Amino acid sequence: MAKSKAMALDGAHAVAEAMRQINPDVVAAYPITPQTEVVMTFSNFVADGLVDTEFIPVESEHGAMSTCVGASAAGGRVMTATASVGLALMLEVVYVAASLHLPIVMAVVNRALSAPLNIHCDHSDSMMARDAGWIQLYSENPQEAYDNVIQAVRIAERLSLPVMVMQDGFITGHGVERVEVLEDGAVKEFIGEYKPKHSLLDVDNPATYGTWAMYNFYFEFKRQQTDALSKAMPVIVEVGEEYGRLTGRKYGILDTYEMDDAEMAIVVLASTAGTARMVMRGLRQKGVKIGFIKPRVFRPFPAKEFVETLAGVKAVGVLDRSIAFGAMNGLGPGPLYLELCAALFAAGNTTTKVADYIFGLGGRDITPAHIEKVAQDLAQIAETGEVKTVVSYLGLRE
């Protein structure tokens, strides 16, 4: 196991530290709360000569991703960061990055989309981009953000697909925690040297990226993207296991707690998992057969893993930190609920009942009491076999 040093870092600084150790060829970025400190800190590293990175301050997030696409096609190791409406502004090119199979790594510090203007945490931004073709990883805390960014470089380059690493804006982005930081050499060795396959700068083997395709070919190129994503999970697992051997912190697809004999389960992404884990512990001590699942990987969606883990579970409470407006006759569940239900239905599981709880939008606080209420609901659902309310809200003033 490699040596590491404990540092007090918030999630943004943890990501910046990982970026410093990765030492990418190009970083092109535009500031946006709550990501700003990621790139701002990194730009200090650039100014202090601690990295060799070509740092390009661009005029907007659209320019940032465009620059990243060009630099990546030119064979560079490329990283950037954004959030919320910044991700929305660059969305056109986010799709391009995945369509061109470019291994760009982007830190997304989750923040609510407008309107109204809100700088605080929810998952509407990264969920907006869930169909763009990127790998999506969610981090519970600054340690996971640091670890995920490092692994993302390996995952991206092995799959030739871009990777988004999420963490909750302000909650972990601005929350200082103890982070075990590897030695520079260990990170450098883990990510290895990037050997781009068809660089634009390789004039002996010319390549043209981003061509035009008519109706007689576009479909085939999209099918190729699905092929690439269908092969991603084993690579994510493999890299996670290797990282585990290096650091003692193993990463997989689903982070589960007390699911072996659970009759009820709560599913939640990112930092709220910390609160949920604490509540679960208390409930388990009271003998409640409940567990929870924190997906680390959202894209590709771990349908198979969910179906396996939820086999025999009577009631599931999904906590969604974004709304898929208009879904289900306008009931407005979130994307985690929708994808989980699709997975269960496709696998023929109609006995596990699922209820959705929208929470935390625009940074609205979620408390242990909220999660205990969900657990109470699940006990009811498990007993009656009926979901009375498909979509509920935690912390909303009615």
Partner 1 sequence: MAVNLEAGWREASIAGTVFEAGNSVEYITGTWRTLRPVRDEERCTNCMICWVYCPDSSILVEDGKVVGFDYDHCKGCGICAAECPVKVDKHAYTGKPGKVIQMVEEVSMQVGK
Position among 208, 285, 329, 350 found at the interface with partner 1 (CB under 8 A): 208
Q: Of 205 and 285, which CB lies nearer to partner 1 in the complex structure? A: 205
Nearer to partner 1, 100 or 283 (CB): 100
- 169 CB-contact burial (10 Å; exposed 0-12 / middle 13-18 / buried 19+): buried
124 contacts: CB under 8 Å, gap ≥ 6? 84, 112, 113, 321, 322, 323, 361
Contact status: 99 vs partner 1 (CB under 8 A): yes
Question: Residue 331 and residue 337: Cα distance in Å, rounded?
Answer: 12
Residue from 195, 211, 326, 350 in contact with partner 1 (CB under 8 A): 211
Judged by CB under 8 A, the residue of 117, 201, 207, 342 near partner 1 is 207
Q: Is 257 left (phi over 0), alpha (psi -120 to 50) or beta?
A: beta
351 makes contact with partner 1 (CB under 8 A): no
Q: Does 201 bind partner 1 (CB under 8 A)?
A: no
- Nearest CA to 16 among 88, 109, 128, 95? 109
Does 202 contact partner 1 by CB under 8 A?
A: no
Using CB atoms within 10 A of its CB, is residue 193 exposed (0-12), middle (13-18) or buried (19+)? exposed
Cα angle for residues 75, 79, 81 (degrees, 5° grid): 155
The Cα–Cα gap between 167 and 321 comes to 12
Q: Which of 62, 101, 174, 321 binds partner 1 (CB under 8 A)?
A: 101
Residue 198 touching partner 1 (CB under 8 A): yes
Does 346 interact with partner 1 (rule: CB under 8 A)? no
Q: How far is the CB of 219 from partner 1 (least distance, A)?
A: 8
182 contributes a contact to partner 1 by CB under 8 A? no
Q: What does the radius of gyration of the chain's CA atoms come to, in whole angstroms?
A: 21
Written as six digits, the tokens of 97 are 């990055």
Between 216 and 285, whose beta carbon lies closer to partner 1?
216
Q: Tell me which stretch binds partner 1 (CB under 8 A): 210-218, 340-348, 378-386, 390-398.
A: 210-218
Amino acid identity at 361: L
Distance CA 174, CA 168 (A): 9
Q: Is 205 in the site for partner 1 (CB under 8 A)?
A: yes
Task: Report the residue number, 160 or 349, with the smaller CB distance to partner 1.
Answer: 160
Residue 209 contacts partner 1 per CB under 8 A: yes
Among 223, 261, 286, 348, binds partner 1 (CB under 8 A): 223
Judged by the rule CB under 8 A, the positions of this chain that interact with partner 1 are: 99-101, 160, 198, 205-209, 211, 213, 216-217, 219-221, 223-224, 227
